[in-house]
Amino acid sequence: MFHQPADDRALPPSASVRGDSSSIKGDKSPPPYTSASEAVATDNKTSTASPASQRCLQICPHETLSFERLQRIAKLPNFHRPEKKIDGLTCNFRQHIRGRLDVEEGDRTICQPIRNRQDQGPLTRVNGYAYICYSSPDKCLYLLFSWVLWCRLGTPQKCDSVGTLRSYLAPANIWLCKHKQIVDPDILDLIYEILNPCGKLADPINRYVAEETGIECDRCDSNIHVVKGIGHSSVESRCQVIVTRSLGKGETAEDPIWVEQCAS
């Protein structure tokens, strides 16, 4: 297991079980996992074929990671030291801000996929942030993404049902990996149970796995933990969805680990 950033909850051992990778019927398809330059116009026709190096990994609803950028990160001075990490998001999008989630934490780039809707739904805030770091044991780069969901208990717009939560989150189109969304039933039930302590819906086995070992995507081996967020209290509930994705060694765009995360 790679080194965890100090301000994130330490992940348990890598043992995991396979999660249900089905999506809610009617949800959007995954966003394109290639760069904008992939479509090449030829004789007034558009070809979607592209070199493997132009595949991109979707980090959040707004930003992708290209293989070229991954290689640059892999070659940064001293980046292979255990304590090193780099912000996985940039401020090149209006949905991204520079700030901190809690007073004791440092500044980071934060994704806000649901802006200006705080007073129109069951959640107070939905924020996401990402780090890219290096794992010494397997010599691979990893993307660690954390989604933090806040719900102030006792408000009229409280999170009173899974359906309410799904309706609020679905338009944000949040994909935890290429195959699993935040509104997939096995993930959403666990989130709802944390945000609404009175609504015990999640299967106890799934709850244990999500907290202790993580739910593993059965197609790309991304690992998903659903846990109570730091600052969870009787007044405001916080749920943290932590996704760990291996990006490969960053040496070749044909690395099957990288391809599986990005291929369309």
pLDDT in tens, 191-211: 988 887 766 666 788 788 888
Q: Which structure tokens are listed for 263?
A: 């291929």
Question: In the prediction, which pLDDT does 47 show?
Answer: 39
What's the mean pLDDT in 37-47?
Answer: 36
pLDDT category of residue 2 using cuts at 50, 70 and 90: very low
Higher pLDDT, 200 or 86: 86
How far apart CA 207 and CA 214 sit, in angstroms, is: 9
pLDDT category of residue 23 using cuts at 50, 70 and 90: very low
Residue 258: phi, psi to the nearest 5? -65, -45
What's the mean pLDDT in 129-142?
Answer: 93
Residue 66: phi, psi to the nearest 5? -85, 160
Residue 60 has pLDDT above 70, yes or no: yes
Question: In the prediction, which pLDDT does 29 show?
Answer: 59
How far apart CA 148 and CA 8 sit, in angstroms, is: 11
Which range, 16-20, 37-41, 60-64, is most confident?
60-64
- Statement: the pTM of the whole predicted model exceeds 0.85: no
Residue 184 has pLDDT above 90, yes or no: yes
Residue 41 has pLDDT above 60, yes or no: no
